[in-house]
Amino acid sequence: MGQCSGKKSQAPRRGSPPGAAGELLLHTLEDLSQLEFKKFRDALAHGDLGGRSCIPWGRLEKADWMDTKNIMLDFYGGEGALDMAITVLERIQVRNAAARLRESRQRGGKAEGLPDFQRNYKKAILQAYSRMKDQNARVGDTVSLSARYSKLVIVNKHRDKEEREDEIVAMGRRHAEIMKEQASASIVVSDLFKPGPDGWTPKVVVLLGAAGMGKTMTARKIMLDWASDKVFAEFDYVFYIHCREGNLLTSQASMADLITQCCPDSSPPLAEMLGQPEKLLFLIDGFDELRFSFDRPQSELCSQPFEKRPVEIILSSLFRRRLLPESSLLVTTRPAALRTLGKCLDCERYAEILGFSEVERKEYFHKFFENAEQAAAAFQFVRGNETLFTMCQVPIVCWIVCTVMKQQLGRSGGLACSPKTTTGIYVLYLLALLRSLSGRLKPSMPGVLRRLCCLAADGVWRQKVLFEEKEVQGYALDQREALPLLLNEYLFQKDIFCVSTYSFIHLSFQEFFAALFYLLEEEGEAEKPPAGPTRDVKALLESYGSSRNYFMLTVRFLFGLLNAERRRELEEEMGCKISPRITQELLAWLQNSQQTALALLMKETAAIRELEVCHCLYELQDERFVATALDPFTGVCLRGLNLNRFDQIVLAFSVKNFPTLEWLDFGHCSFLWDPPEDGTGQQPAGQANRLEKSGLKEETLQKLAALREVKPNLNIGYL
Ligand SMILES: Nc1ncnc2c1ncn2[C@@H]1O[C@H](COP(=O)(O)OP(=O)(O)OP(=O)(O)O)[C@@H](O)[C@H]1O
């Protein structure tokens, strides 16, 4: 315990101006990870603070960033709070944050020397970008951007075809390893305009990222960090231009007009601002959303910042370095627009957002829930679902998962009750992506989706995740439609050329579309797609039987998409008809699939022998269907499996809705409640709730939340 615990606290110093110091302190606290923030509060209460008084733990125990800042200001005064924050950060070994705070504080002095307008501009940016709205936010609901922002893995090297294929296909542990490898070679945003190894400083940087990967969030965080003097100090002004939103909708404007739209003041000192163009950075967010044609002849471009021209010409002139050629550009785009971008812009540095590594996913959950217990419960649940956890690499999927789990945790029964299935989360992901489409594109979506589903199914059958341009075009999928939303484009070197190749964001998303292929009603398409796979689901199920795992996820999604609620959600948003006509085929297949050679040999056909059956039934979430499907069976025989938390919930769902169930056999099974922490090897005794076969008593089984519903009279075997 620190020396101060026994000391009487000094009377809090009051009255120091908290404004700037408070802002600095808050930004610093918000940038700490959950663990660092906890250590920070602990040191503030119990640490050895060089004779300064500690804050009683009772005040800090439940304090969030804002409370901690206010308590510190109240206790130590503005400057004293900053001194104390630096001391504590150094004591808990978060030296980068301490150094940053010290620097920003010094620069605070310099800010006083900035021209008024520049200072006001930064203040306005801080004001405008420090809070964010979630997509489902109610009026007035905002969260702190810094508090929510989790670090993203950003790399600045092109991956080759094999590496890319590996990434798309990898799941679970392998996927985590790939992300870890990438994270170790990643770059930070503040280095994007730093000189490269050859000493050359780029002026045009392109930041690539698939839909929902965090480009806008990163762009907004850059604005905030620049205005807080944390990054890009070399630029006097950073202007944010979002290609989807308002500022490009006017038909005629000058560059000066576009800049004015970015400013808080309606008549900014443009001549001064443009006086040093090398000190300007334009952050163009969402290039892929521009529907302009950029191949204008040079003679049409303009070079005068005050000249009014169609916005299309102004932007072309900026990209092609005719207008303000000394300024710098940071352009974010989805990969599908790379080729178009290449036609109008000479990218000097390329960086790609790959999403959250495993560590950051955990951090995201903690930041989102702000309640350690709920965050841990939700994280462990998702971690047990390999597919979902892999997709949580994509920040918007993390957001969807956390949002629905927060709602579930608020209900009685918690996570084990009325869960969102993997299919449910994928549907929400697809709908979130479609929502961002402009109204103009919506009418063409049913057709585009149908063709996309054909491509996906074709890929699943041919075990293919990278598609050549002619294959994509073969499905009449036009790049300028809504396609960039769902397919990523990559350029690979082939001999002496560069060729375009396309993929879904992850194989599991392709499998989701492949499943949808079997359920979409045909609606007299004008253009027939090329002869792809047949829509006969029997062929798929037969192949599943022989190839085993290859079609596993597609089949799980088939069950999930049969759920009436899922169908309704999709039909309403996509404008397609989804038919449950394959229900009977799935039912028959599920029942027959348990007549394995082993079961026949043992003359024991009345048992469910594969957990996969329970996974399929769980995805469907239809209790009547489960009861019908399980009616011919009397037992569940799962031997030698390690069942994680998600498996147990899935199993419990079937067991609960199994009217004819008489016996359960879990011989040599392990019931793992909390998966071991990554990289820590064996978990310390007492931490993991690992119930080895011998120790698994009926009472223990009853204690497992997921199997709480198991009927007490069942005959249960564990050996
Ligand atoms: N670094 C991050 N930290 C926390 N949440 C993030 C982060 N990046 C993205 N998110 C979450 O994911 C959502 C989607 O991110 P964002 O809008 O930045 O994606 P995008 O790459 O711009 O997508 P699109 O290409 O569809 O416009 C955000 O609204 C936010 O909830």
Alpha carbon distance 73, 592 (integer Å): 69
Same domain, 218 and 304: yes
- Residue 510's pLDDT is 93
Residue 501 domain-assigned? no
Give 597's Cβ-side CA count (13 Å radius): 2
Residue 665 domain-assigned? yes
Distance (Å) from CA 708 to ligand 1 centroid: 38
Same domain, 192 and 77: no
Decide: helix, strand or coil at residue 305: coil
Same domain, 106 and 191: no
- Residue 679's pLDDT is 38
The residues near 20 (Cβ < 8 Å, ≥ 6 apart) are 78, 108
User: Which residue, among 221, 348, 235, has the nearest Cα to 285 in the 3D structure?
Assistant: 221
Structural domain ending residue among the three candidates 334, 355, 376: 355
Distance (Å) from CA 435 to ligand 1 centroid: 14
Alpha carbon distance 174, 180 (integer Å): 10
Q: How far is CA 469 from CA 35, 192, 455, 487, in A?
A: 47, 31, 12, 12
User: Which residue, among 404, 402, 393, 391, has the nearest Cα to 365 in the 3D structure?
Assistant: 402
The token duo for 211 is 């839909």
- Give residue 619's domain range: 596-719
Structural domain ending residue among the three candidates 324, 355, 386: 355
- Residue 416's pLDDT is 58
User: Going by CA atoms, what residue is nearest to atom 4 of ligand 1?
Assistant: 149
Structural domain ending residue among the three candidates 326, 355, 384: 355
Alpha carbon distance 457, 551 (integer Å): 10
pLDDT along the chain (719 residues), means of 10: 35 42 85 86 87 86 88 85 91 87 70 72 90 79 88 88 87 85 87 90 94 94 92 94 68 89 83 91 90 79 92 90 95 85 86 92 91 87 87 92 84 62 90 77 80 91 88 75 72 75 89 93 62 80 73 92 92 85 89 70 72 92 92 85 81 84 80 52 33 39 48 54
**Residue 2, φ and ψ in degrees, nearest 5:** -70, 160
CATH number at residue 85: 1.10.533.10
Distance (Å) from CA 355 to ligand 1 centroid: 9
**How many CB atoms lie under 10 A from the CB of residue 495?**
6
Work out which ligand 1 atom sits closest to the CA atom of 364. 4
Q: Best substitution site from 135, 216, 401 to test ligand 1's pocket, by max atoms within 8 Å of Cβ? A: 216
Q: Are 316 and 296 in contact (CB under 8 A)?
A: yes
Residue 445 domain-assigned? no
User: Going by CA atoms, what residue is nearest to atom 25 of ligand 1?
Assistant: 211
Q: How far is CA 182 from CA 125, 154, 335, 389, 667, in A?
A: 32, 8, 18, 17, 40
Q: Are 670 and 692 in contact (CB under 8 A)?
A: yes
Residue 589 domain-assigned? no
Q: How far is CA 602 from CA 115, 596, 635, 660, 716, in A?
A: 86, 10, 14, 21, 19
Same domain, 236 and 340: yes
The token duo for 122 is 């930064």
Q: Which residues line ligand 1 (CB under 6 A)?
A: 135, 148-150, 152, 209, 211-217, 286, 334, 364, 395-396, 399, 436
User: Going by CA atoms, what residue is nearest to atom 30 of ligand 1?
Assistant: 396
The token duo for 716 is 């249960």
Q: Are 224 and 104 in contact (CB under 8 A)?
A: no
How would you label 296-333 residue by residue, b for 16+ Cβ within 10 Å and e otherwise? beeeebbeebeebbbbbbbbbbbbbbbbbeebbbbbbb
Distance (Å) from CA 134 to ligand 1 centroid: 10
Distance (Å) from CA 217 to ligand 1 centroid: 5
Q: What is the DSSP string of 83-139?
A: HHHHHHHHHTT-HHHHHHHHHHHHHHHHHHTS-HHHHHHHHHHHHHHSEE--TTPPT
Residue 151 domain-assigned? yes
Q: Best substitution site from 134, 217, 359, 364 to test ligand 1's pocket, by max atoms within 8 Å of Cβ? A: 217
Q: Which amino acid is at 697?
A: K
CA 466 from chain centre, in angstroms, equals: 22
Distance (Å) from CA 480 to ligand 1 centroid: 22
Distance (Å) from CA 441 to ligand 1 centroid: 22
Alpha carbon distance 200, 122 (integer Å): 28
712: burial class by Cβ within 10 Å (0-12, 13-18, 19+)? exposed
Distance (Å) from CA 150 to ligand 1 centroid: 10
Same domain, 146 and 82: no
Q: Are strands 663-665 and 131-132 parallel, antiparallel or unpaired?
A: unpaired
User: Going by CA atoms, what residue is nearest to atom 16 of ligand 1?
Assistant: 214
Residue 633 domain-assigned? yes
- Residue 708's pLDDT is 47
Same domain, 82 and 149: no
The token duo for 677 is 């922490």
Same domain, 77 and 218: no
Same domain, 609 and 683: yes
- Residue 417's pLDDT is 57
Decide: helix, strand or coil at residue 374: helix
Same domain, 348 and 234: yes
Alpha carbon distance 240, 222 (integer Å): 10
Same domain, 85 and 146: no
Residue 409 domain-assigned? no
Work out which ligand 1 atom sits closest to the CA atom of 436. 26
For the chain, the C-alpha Rg in angstroms (whole number) is 29
Distance (Å) from CA 386 to ligand 1 centroid: 22
293: burial class by Cβ within 10 Å (0-12, 13-18, 19+)? exposed
Q: Are 389 and 382 in contact (CB under 8 A)?
A: yes
Alpha carbon distance 639, 666 (integer Å): 5
- Domain count for the chain: 3
Q: Best substitution site from 148, 222, 289, 396 to test ligand 1's pocket, by max atoms within 8 Å of Cβ? A: 396
Q: Which amino acid is at 544?
A: Y
User: Going by CA atoms, what residue is nearest to atom 26 of ligand 1?
Assistant: 211
Same domain, 257 and 314: yes
The token duo for 197 is 């190894």
**Strand ordering across the sheet containing 467-468:** 467-468, 497-503, 488-494
Decide: helix, strand or coil at residue 285: strand
Same domain, 270 and 194: yes
User: Going by CA atoms, what residue is nearest to atom 24 of ligand 1?
Assistant: 211
CATH number at residue 204: 3.40.50
Alpha carbon distance 507, 169 (integer Å): 5
